[in-house]
């Protein structure tokens, strides 16, 4: 008993130390490259965690997450470019718009199951991309440019670093809390067997809707900050299908049954991805993560953490089993 | 001809068959009787290669077949008429029959096999173009048997061939089996119709909870008090 | 806007629809029969287009003549993908979802390998005859789409013939209708699956050549083609060859009519919105059973 509480304090202590170190990291004046590297890693942590609410817990695999992300980015862009409004509050507004979009789309789309849901979510992203490509108000295929924060690039990167660190931490903690709550138990019951869950009195349409909207809200906020960070939006940048897939891969790679999986997957893969993109080439990186996706689905459908643990415990994990 | 030796089968870790040994000799009719859920279907599916045994061996014509896949077992002309008939519902009667002769050896013999089936069940000659799904339950069972015959079986296994059929068609099925026996076919029959199966069979096994609890000549078992009490309600 | 212009638009739409049909038919086949939702389907169409393009540019082999070679090459690629990816994935609990995610990976790999070796620039397959037109009175029909259409019709007919008039083709159908029954008449399911998948990819390759006669192609165009494949397959009903054919023609005509009045991008928006609506209200398709 005592050991257990001690262990818990150890964990909390460790968590606080790590967070503190990450928090003060920019003060050491590292090269900007590292800041943007970590910024992107945090962003993917936040995205993967928010995606995992639906994709991991309920097993409703969405490829439309970038639609919500882009909604956030475009909200910032439009407010900056058209109205000259530039507080971070637009990020929250982006989250709000994304949530509204999710509510509108979710009502019909969440009735679909399996592949049909996935395809519809992908279509949502594609249709939005096509519309944004041709909608002059949001810059159509030229995109929208706007000013960076009126401070030096170092300070600029530092601010965004801290904001994204905060977002990633907050979202991960919220998702972790959801996982352990009754809400999360309901979502997991839906993944196991939606019909059985319904007979157990779980209001599955409502739970799915909540998870979908919450995930979309997070993605919108993240997009809002991101839009501010890059100071330029373009449909082909924000609505990139590869981003959706990368998020999915990160969750699956880490293991999408728990909040730890996306966290681990997003950190490892986003760092590896960025390093390969920077030093070798984007195509090679995509080739590698495409292969990784296949390998993960075939050999470690529960994620690499589970897989490695399985190797040590000598418990036999059956290939191709589990949530898929 | 068929020799099942100390067969164990598990379903998700739960034992379904335990220590099953049985023999079918050439030109014999052997039946396996017992209550539902006793493991009869599992036994036939294992022999056909649809399920892999945990341990034990299955020999057919002196060759071990329990490691082979279903189509390789079919090639050795050990053919099953499965439970629930498992026809191809959207295909015509004639195509269902032709699929029975899918393997090259059977395909070569297609006209003769068709002739034989039409002789046994003349209605199929008139209804070659009908979709299998539109046949009545009894006719579907006849078609399933016919499809198996198209594969030119050396040993024919039937899984509950009279299940869900009207008394008239049940008579028909057992009549057909009698004819096949007279033609010299070796048959392994699994059925809940205990009395009729035992009457027809040379030998029989009683399967209960995945184990063989009794075996003997068909007639002997029919007179056995326990069998009479448990299965015939006497 | 004259009447002949509208008729021309409709005709070119129908020709295009035939090509969409052959692009989709294999996809629906693997989804319907093997429960394999192959997202990498159209990336192999692009691969087919590339092989045909290189044979034409480097060796001056006409796309029509090289078609059999392309079918063979893509069938083999399909067989390899089947062995490496599909076969292991078929053990999963939910084969459709697992295959969908895994083949997404395959699509990315193949797309980026092409883009790495051959650059992401758009290209078009332009044999001399493709740029000329046939005139019927006032109506002109360009030969590129016409030849693509004829290729597509031949390929669909071949596939249809294979499925309904050969033993292996019937075995494919039998496996689809009743896997246990199929196993018990001696059908080797792994072999049947491999052939089905190989043919599906081969048909995609042929479709890619036909597409390349009309449109510019580049590695990442596969994701747009994939959406068209979805559209046609869902409208036609998953797994129905005839349904897919009809759906292709229907969608082609819609594209033709809309393109006469709307800018092309809005046609796409309209079509994908239509797909969303169909998914929501009639996911079994308009021509499905």
Residues B145 and B159 in one domain: no
pLDDT at A321 over 50: no
Whether A78 and A28 have beta carbons less than 8 Å apart is answered as no
Whether A19 and A169 have beta carbons less than 8 Å apart is answered as yes
**pLDDT at B114 (0 to 100):** 94
Element (H, E) at C106: helix C95-118
Residues B226 and B128 in one domain: no
Tell me, yes or no, whether B56 lies in a domain: yes
Q: Give the span between the Cα atoms of A133 and A22, in whole angstroms.
A: 38
**pLDDT at A317 (0 to 100):** 45
Q: What is the pLDDT of residues A102-128, one digit of tens each?
A: 999 988 888 888 888 898 898 889 888
Please name the residue of chain B whose CA is at the shortest distance from the CA of residue C186: B71
Q: Give the span between the Cα atoms of A151 and A313, in whole angstroms.
A: 53
Task: Pinpoint the alpha helices (H) of C178-263.
Answer: 179-184, 189-214, 222-236, 241-261
pLDDT at A93 over 50: yes
Residues B62 and B174 in one domain: yes
The number of distinct structural domains making up chain B is 2
pLDDT at C133 over 90: no
**pLDDT at A219 (0 to 100):** 95
Q: What is the pLDDT of residues B212-234, one digit of tens each?
A: 988 888 888 888 877 777 777 66
Lowest mean pLDDT among A88-92, A318-322, B12-16, C141-145: A318-322
Which residues in chain C touch residue A239, judged by CB atoms under 8 angstroms apart? none
- Of the pLDDT bands very low, low, confident and very high (cuts 50, 70, 90), residue C51 is very high
Tell me, yes or no, whether B50 lies in a domain: yes
Q: In A, residues 1-60, which contact C (CB 8 Å cutoff)?
A: 59
Tell me, yes or no, whether C138 lies in a domain: yes
Tell me, yes or no, whether B19 lies in a domain: yes
| Boundary (domain end) residue, out of B126, B153, B180 | B153
Neighbours of chain A (3+ CB pairs under 8 A): C
Tell me, yes or no, whether C93 lies in a domain: yes
Residues B202 and B224 in one domain: yes
Angle (nearest 5°) at CA A171 between C98 and A226: 90
Residues B166 and B70 in one domain: yes
**pLDDT at A322 (0 to 100):** 43
Q: Are residues C109 and A291, on separate chains, in Cβ contact within 8 Å? A: yes
Mean pLDDT of A24-34: 84
The residues, any chain, with a CB within 8 Å of residue C76's CB and separated by 6 or more, are C198
**pLDDT at A200 (0 to 100):** 84
The number of distinct structural domains making up chain C is 1
Residues B62 and B167 in one domain: yes
Mean pLDDT of B158-177: 90
Whether A207 and A187 have beta carbons less than 8 Å apart is answered as yes
Q: Give the span between the Cα atoms of A280 and C66, in whole angstroms.
A: 36
Query: Residue A150 pairs with which residues in a beta bridge?
Result: none
Q: What is the pLDDT of residues B102-129, one digit of tens each?
A: 999 999 999 999 999 999 999 999 998 9
pLDDT at A204 over 80: yes
pLDDT at C255 over 70: yes
**pLDDT at B174 (0 to 100):** 92
Q: What is the pLDDT of residues A70-89, one digit of tens each?
A: 999 998 888 887 777 766 77
Q: Give the span between the Cα atoms of A183 and A177, in whole angstroms.
A: 10
**pLDDT at A323 (0 to 100):** 40
A294 vs C: CB within 8 A = yes
Mean pLDDT of A98-103: 93
Q: Which residue has the tokens 């649809």?
A: B50
Which is higher by pLDDT, B63 or A81? B63
Tell me, yes or no, whether B184 lies in a domain: yes
Domain of residue B184 covers 2-76+155-231
pLDDT at B37 over 80: no
Residues B172 and B66 in one domain: yes
Tell me, yes or no, whether C149 lies in a domain: yes
pLDDT at A236 over 90: no
**pLDDT at B31 (0 to 100):** 93
| Boundary (domain end) residue, out of B102, B125, B153 | B153
Q: Do chains B and A touch (3 or more CB pairs under 8 A)?
A: no
Which is higher by pLDDT, A30 or C264? A30
Tell me, yes or no, whether C90 lies in a domain: yes
Please name the residue of chain C whose CA is at the shortest distance from the CA of residue B107: C167
By a Cβ cutoff of 8 Å, what residues of chain C touch chain B?
167, 170-171, 173-174, 177-178, 180-189
pLDDT at C1 over 80: no
Tell me, yes or no, whether B126 lies in a domain: yes
Tell me, yes or no, whether C136 lies in a domain: yes
Q: Which long-range contacts (CB under 8 A, 24 or more apart) does C261-264 make?
A: C263/A134
Q: Are residues A130 and C102, on separate chains, in Cβ contact within 8 Å? A: no
In the predicted model, what is the mean pLDDT of chain A? 86
Residues B23 and B124 in one domain: no
Q: Phi/psi of residue B208, each to 5°? A: -140, 130
Residues B10 and B122 in one domain: no
Single out the residue of A63, A40, A51 nearest to residue A245, CA to CA: A63
Which is higher by pLDDT, A321 or A192? A192
**pLDDT at A320 (0 to 100):** 39
Residues B188 and B134 in one domain: no
Helices (H) and strands (E) in chain A, counts: 14, 2
Q: Give the span between the Cα atoms of B78 and B117, in whole angstroms.
A: 18
CATH code for position C51: 1.10.3470
Single out the residue of C229, C235, C168, B90 nearest to residue C159, CA to CA: C168
The three-state secondary structure class of C112 is: helix
Whether C256 and C14 have beta carbons less than 8 Å apart is answered as yes
Mean pLDDT of C36-52: 95
Q: Residue C217 gets which letter from DSSP?
A: B
Which is higher by pLDDT, C261 or A73? A73
Please name the residue of chain C whose CA is at the shortest distance from the CA of residue B90: C177
Q: What is the pLDDT of residues B130-141, one digit of tens each?
A: 999 999 988 999
**pLDDT at A151 (0 to 100):** 78
Tell me, yes or no, whether C63 lies in a domain: yes
Lowest mean pLDDT among A67-76, A225-234, C1-10, C114-123: C1-10
Tell me, yes or no, whether B145 lies in a domain: yes
Task: Mark A105-117 as b/e (b = at least 16 C-beta within 10 Å).
Answer: bbeebbebeebbb
Q: Are residues A290 and C105, on separate chains, in Cβ contact within 8 Å? A: yes
Residues B147 and B203 in one domain: no
Tell me, yes or no, whether B85 lies in a domain: no
Q: What percent of chain A has pLDDT over 70?
A: 94
**pLDDT at A2 (0 to 100):** 55
**pLDDT at B159 (0 to 100):** 93
Q: Are residues C97 and A126, on separate chains, in Cβ contact within 8 Å? A: no
**pLDDT at A319 (0 to 100):** 41
> Cβ-count burial of A84 within 10 angstroms (0-12 exposed, 13-18 middle, 19+ buried)?
exposed
**pLDDT at C268 (0 to 100):** 82
B107 vs C: CB within 8 A = yes
Q: C189-214 and C3-29 helices cross at what angle (nearest 10)?
A: 160
pLDDT at A44 over 80: yes
Lowest mean pLDDT among A174-178, B196-200, B225-229, C118-122: B225-229
B74 vs C: CB within 8 A = yes
Give the distance from CA C144 to its chain's centroid.
Answer: 17
Mean pLDDT of A169-182: 93
Tell me, yes or no, whether B82 lies in a domain: no
Mean pLDDT of A22-50: 89
Tell me, yes or no, whether C288 lies in a domain: no
Domain of residue C27 covers 3-281
Q: What percent of chain B has pLDDT over 70?
A: 99
**pLDDT at C140 (0 to 100):** 78
Which residues in chain C touch residue B74, judged by CB atoms under 8 angstroms apart? 184-186
Lowest mean pLDDT among A136-145, A251-260, C28-37: A136-145
Residues B226 and B171 in one domain: yes
Element (H, E) at B60: strand B55-60
In the predicted model, what is the mean pLDDT of chain C? 88
| Boundary (domain end) residue, out of B153, B173, B198 | B153
The residues, any chain, with a CB within 8 Å of residue C90's CB and separated by 6 or more, are A320, C34, C36, C99, C193
């Amino acid at each position: 008993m005592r050991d257990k509480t001690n262990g818990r304090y150890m964990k909390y202590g460790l968590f606080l130390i790590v967070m503190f170190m990450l928090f003060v990291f920019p003060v050491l004046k590292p090269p900007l490259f590292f800041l943007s590297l970590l910024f992107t890693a945090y962003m993917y942590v936040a995205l993967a965690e928010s995606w995992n609410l639906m994709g991991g817990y309920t097993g409703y695999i969405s490829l439309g997450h970038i639609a919500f992300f882009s909604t956030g980015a475009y909200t910032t862009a439009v407010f900056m470019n058209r109205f000259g409004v530039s507080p971070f509050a637009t990020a929250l507004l982006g989250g709000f718009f994304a949530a509204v979009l999710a509510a509108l789309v979710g009502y019909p789309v969440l009735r679909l199951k399996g592949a049909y849901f996935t395809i519809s979510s992908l279509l949502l992203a594609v249709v939005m991309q096509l519309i944004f490509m041709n909608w002059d108000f949001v810059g159509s295929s030229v995109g929208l440019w706007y000013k960076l924060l009126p401070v030096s690039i170092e300070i600029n990167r530092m601010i965004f670093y801290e904001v994204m660190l905060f977002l990633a931490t907050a979202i991960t903690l919220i998702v972790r809390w959801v996982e352990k709550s009754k809400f999360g138990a309901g979502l997991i019951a839906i993944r196991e067997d939606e019909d059985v869950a319904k007979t157990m009195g779980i209001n599955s349409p409502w739970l799915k809707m909540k998870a979908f909207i919450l995930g979309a809200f997070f993605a919108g906020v993240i997009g809002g900050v991101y839009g501010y960070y890059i100071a330029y939006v373009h449909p082909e940048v924000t609505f990139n299908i590869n981003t959706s897939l990368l998020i999915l891969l990160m969750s699956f790679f880490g293991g999408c049954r728990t909040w730890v999986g996306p966290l681990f997957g997003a950190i490892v893969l986003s760092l590896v991805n960025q390093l390969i993109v920077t030093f070798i080439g984007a195509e090679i990186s995509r080739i590698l993560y495409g292969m990784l996706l296949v390998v993960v689905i075939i050999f470690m459908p529960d994620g690499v953490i589970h897989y490695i643990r399985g190797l040590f415990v000598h418990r036999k994990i059956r290939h191709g089993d589990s949530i898929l | 001809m068929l020799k099942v030796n100390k067969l164990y089968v598990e379903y998700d870790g739960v034992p379904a068959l335990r220590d099953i040994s049985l023999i079918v000799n050439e030109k014999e009719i052997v039946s396996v009787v017992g209550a539902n859920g006793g493991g009869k279907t599992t036994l036939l599916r294992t022999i056909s290669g649809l399920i892999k045994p945990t341990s034990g061996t299955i020999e057919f014509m002196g060759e071990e077949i329990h490691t082979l896949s279903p189509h390789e077992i079919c090639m050795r002309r050990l053919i099953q008429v499965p439970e629930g008939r498992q026809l191809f519902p959207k295909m015509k009667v004639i195509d269902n029959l032709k699929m029975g002769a899918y393997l090259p050896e059977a395909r070569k013999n297609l006209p003769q096999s068709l002739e034989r089936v039409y002789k046994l069940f003349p209605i199929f000659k008139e209804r070659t173009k009908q979709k299998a799904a539109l046949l009545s339950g009894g006719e579907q069972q006849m078609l399933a048997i016919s499809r198996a015959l198209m594969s030119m079986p050396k040993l024919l296994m039937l899984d509950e061939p009279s299940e869900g059929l009207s008394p008239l068609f049940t008579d028909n099925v057992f009549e057909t089996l009698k004819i096949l026996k007279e033609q010299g076919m070796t048959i392994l029959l699994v059925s809940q119709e205990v009395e009729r199966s035992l009457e027809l069979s040379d030998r029989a096994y009683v399967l209960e909870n995945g184990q063989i609890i009794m075996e003997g000549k068909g007639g002997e078992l029919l007179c056995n008090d326990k069998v009479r009490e448990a299965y015939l309600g006497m | 806007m004259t009447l002949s212009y509208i008729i021309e638009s409709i005709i070119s739409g129908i020709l295009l629809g035939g090509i969409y049909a052959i692009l989709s038919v294999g996809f629906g086949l693997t989804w319907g029969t093997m429960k394999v939702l192959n997202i990498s389907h159209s990336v192999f169409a692009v691969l087919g287009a590339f092989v045909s393009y290189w044979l034409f540019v480097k060796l001056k082999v006409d796309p029509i003549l090289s078609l059999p070679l392309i079918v063979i090459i893509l069938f083999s690629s399909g067989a390899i993908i089947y062995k490496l990816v599909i076969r292991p994935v078929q053990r999963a609990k939910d084969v459709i979802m697992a295959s969908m995610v895994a083949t997404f990976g395959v699509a990315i790999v193949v797309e980026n390998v092409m883009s790495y070796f051959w650059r992401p620039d758009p290209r078009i397959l332009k044999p001399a005859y493709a740029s000329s037109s046939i005139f019927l009175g006032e109506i002109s029909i360009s030969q590129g789409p016409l030849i693509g259409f004829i290729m597509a019709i031949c390929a669909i007919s071949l596939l249809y013939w294979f499925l309904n008039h050969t033993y292996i083709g019937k075995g494919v159908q039998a496996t689809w209708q009743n896997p246990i029954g199929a196993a018990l008449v001696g059908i080797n399911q792994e072999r049947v699956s491999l052939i089905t998948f190989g043919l599906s990819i081969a048909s995609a390759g042929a479709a890619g050549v036909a597409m390349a006669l009309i449109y510019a192609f580049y590695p990442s165009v596969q994701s747009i083609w994939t959406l068209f494949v979805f559209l046609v397959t869902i409208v036609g009903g998953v797994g129905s060859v005839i349904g897919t054919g009809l759906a292709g023609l229907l969608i082609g005509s819609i594209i033709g009519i809309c393109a006469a009045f709307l800018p092309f991008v809005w046609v796409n928006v309209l079509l994908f919105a239509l797909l969303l609506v169909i998914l929501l209200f009639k996911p079994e398709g308009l021509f499905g059973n």
